[in-house]
Amino acid sequence: MKLIKHTYMAALGSIALLLGSCSDFLEEDNKSNYTEDEYFQTADQAEAAINTLYTELRFVSDGSGTYGESPFMMLEFPTGLVNTEVGQSQANNDLRTLTTNAENNYLFVWWERSYKIIANANLAIERIPEIEGMDENQVSNLIGQARFMRAFSYFNLVRIFGDVPLILEPVEADSELLYPERSPQADVYELIVQDLTDAENASLPETDDSGRVTLGTVKSLLSSVYLTMAGYPLQAGDQYYQLAADKAKEVIDDFDYELFDTYGKLHDKENENSGEFIFQNQYFAGANITNGLTAWLLPRAKKISRFSDEFGCMYPTNSFIASHEAGDKRIEEQEFYFTEYPSIENADNTVSFGNYYIFKYFNEDAVLSTAQNDLNWTFIRYAEVLLTYAEAGFEAYGATAEVLDAVNQVRDRANLPLFDASVSREDIWKERFHELAFENKTWFDMVRRRKVLNLESGQWDDFVGHRFSYGENPPTLTEKYLLFPVPQREINNNTKLSQNPGW
């Protein structure tokens, strides 16, 4: 059966898992048995439909069913910035060496799970307004969340795969959309902007410490969308830099987000969904909703934690670390990275790793006590909004005081000298490169700019022809890596789908 048919027919079933849920809006509780005719009859069912969208979104930072693999890693290995100690992961190693193909399971996971979210969002957008007796503001709020989730999913799909099927309504068993064609990227971006603009006008709150989508979340994503549209492949025009800058400035001026004063607060449970965090995946150890992120990023088998497996899935290359400016606080011990840690067997013995490892997602409680990581995965944080404003604002307005202030807030926290009016666009690019490393931003930035930082020269190479810093014959980016391949099993199931160039 065609995947999209399976995805859409499963959408109502996945909503049923959340009907009758308890107070926590992300905690699944399958206490009721509903038939299709009973869906979307009450306000509680409408809420449950939206809850499903958040639950499904966890796929990005969950495991993909194989050893030491998670979908977020797919966007890190092709940057050329990470090593791995997991020889068992063919998917990761093929991406790291740029030898992957359209059978890579990550591709299928991103495609299938994103369309499942879109399916549920389409159902919610169509059916929630039909429910009798619901408060108009509640309806507007829920539809706004659904439109954001649909836009967010399409934003990932269009950047990963390029032209993708654009499906905006629930799909019945006899629908022509069971075998859809790919839509041009410009059409997909038009839908993304429309959904986010509609969500801006929905009854969304400015803040919400539970992790739901807020008005600030919508505006933050829209600024990123405009920045992407200004670059490749659309090159929609310089006015999109202005749109990106102005939208990011709304977030900066009108909302209460702020940079944490220490990097340690980025992985402190007490700060989730507040302060610097604008949009996160939610995890809860008490509800047994945990992720493998901390264990995946620990150095392999060093016995520094309570985890049964310390994976060493990915860690930064020495060339990446060396690309930082002298004095950058982010590469100091236990800031963004770490090189040693006490043995779990004897805390008086410090274990040296021999390399830098990623500390951004380190959960001390899980490492030392529970072996249950419940730290949220962050999709958008305030530092990104500041850097989006700095990059787009520089293109639109030049090195104004406000542009400099945005990038200098990030540099000041890193204990780096502040930029002045002599700053270049490449200086701003590099600040974003270091601040947002290993947060699923770098590959997208490489593609939209068609530029990649050469870690040895410090200059910016063209994307096509850029050589990584490792290996006897370093992997070299070719034009086909501007997009990932459409999953081969999708093409096998739907002859209307074509493959991306070079794959």
Q: Where are the domains of the chain?
A: 292-373
Report how far apart, in Å, the C-alpha atoms of 84 and of each of 90, 123, 367 are. 11, 41, 20
CA nearest 231: which of 372, 395, 382?
Answer: 395
Cis peptide before 233 (omega within 30 of 0): yes
**pLDDT score recorded for residue 65:** 81
- At residue 284 the predicted structure's pLDDT band, cuts being 50, 70 and 90, is very high
Residue 304 CA to chain centroid, in angstroms? 28
**pLDDT score recorded for residue 208:** 93
CA nearest 377: which of 28, 60, 27?
Answer: 60
**pLDDT score recorded for residue 36:** 53
Decide: 79 and 443 in contact? Cβ < 8 Å: yes
36 vs 210, higher pLDDT: 210
Dist CA 418 CA 397 (whole Å): 19
385-429 pLDDT, tens digit per residue, is 999 999 999 999 999 999 999 999 999 999 999 999 999 999 999
**pLDDT score recorded for residue 14:** 44
Half-sphere exposure for 401 (CA within 13 Å, toward CB): 0
Dist CA 82 CA 313 (whole Å): 9
Strand partners, 380: 279
Contacts of 462 (CB under 8 A, 6+ apart): 450, 451, 452
80-120 pLDDT, tens digit per residue, is 999 999 998 999 999 999 999 999 999 999 999 999 999 99
Q: Is 357 helix (H, G, I), strand (E, B) or coil?
A: strand
Report how far apart, in Å, the C-alpha atoms of 157 and of each of 161, 188, 348, 412, 448 are. 6, 9, 48, 35, 14
Question: Among residues of the chain, what percentage have pLDDT more than 70?
Answer: 92
**pLDDT score recorded for residue 177:** 80
| Other Cβ atoms within 10 Å of 237 Cβ, number | 11
**pLDDT score recorded for residue 26:** 55
CA nearest 223: which of 427, 391, 405?
Answer: 391
Dist CA 500 CA 503 (whole Å): 6
Dist CA 339 CA 10 (whole Å): 45
- At residue 13 the predicted structure's pLDDT band, cuts being 50, 70 and 90, is very low
Decide: 282 and 213 in contact? Cβ < 8 Å: no
Name the phi and psi angles at 154, rounded to 5. -70, -30
354-380 pLDDT, tens digit per residue, is 999 999 999 999 999 999 999 999 999
- At residue 2 the predicted structure's pLDDT band, cuts being 50, 70 and 90, is very low
| Other Cβ atoms within 10 Å of 64 Cβ, number | 21
Following DSSP, what letter does each residue of 93-119 receive, concatenated?
Answer: HHHHTT---TT-HHHHHHHHHHHHHHH
| Virtual torsion, Cα 47, 48, 51, 57, nearest 10 deg | -140
pLDDT of 12 higher than 60? no
Following DSSP, what letter does each residue of 293-331 receive, concatenated?
Answer: HHHHHSPTT---SS-S------EE-HHHHHTSPTT-GGG
| Other Cβ atoms within 10 Å of 233 Cβ, number | 17
CA nearest 328: which of 434, 404, 407?
Answer: 434
- At residue 24 the predicted structure's pLDDT band, cuts being 50, 70 and 90, is low
Query: In the predicted model, what is the mean pLDDT of the chain?
Result: 93
- At residue 37 the predicted structure's pLDDT band, cuts being 50, 70 and 90, is low
**pLDDT score recorded for residue 38:** 67
CA nearest 79: which of 314, 263, 297, 300?
Answer: 314
- At residue 31 the predicted structure's pLDDT band, cuts being 50, 70 and 90, is very low
pLDDT of 18 higher than 80? no
Alpha-helical (H) ranges within 323-477 are 364-365, 382-397, 401-413, 425-435, 442-449
129-152 pLDDT, tens digit per residue, is 999 999 999 999 999 999 999 999
Q: What mean pLDDT comes out for the span 321-334?
A: 98
Dist CA 83 CA 74 (whole Å): 13
Dist CA 192 CA 190 (whole Å): 5
| Other Cβ atoms within 10 Å of 63 Cβ, number | 16
**pLDDT score recorded for residue 173:** 75
**pLDDT score recorded for residue 436:** 98
Dist CA 465 CA 201 (whole Å): 44
pLDDT of 350 higher than 50? yes
CA nearest 500: which of 482, 478, 474?
Answer: 482
Q: What mean pLDDT comes out for the span 346-350?
A: 97
pLDDT of 23 higher than 50? no
pTM summary value: 0.94
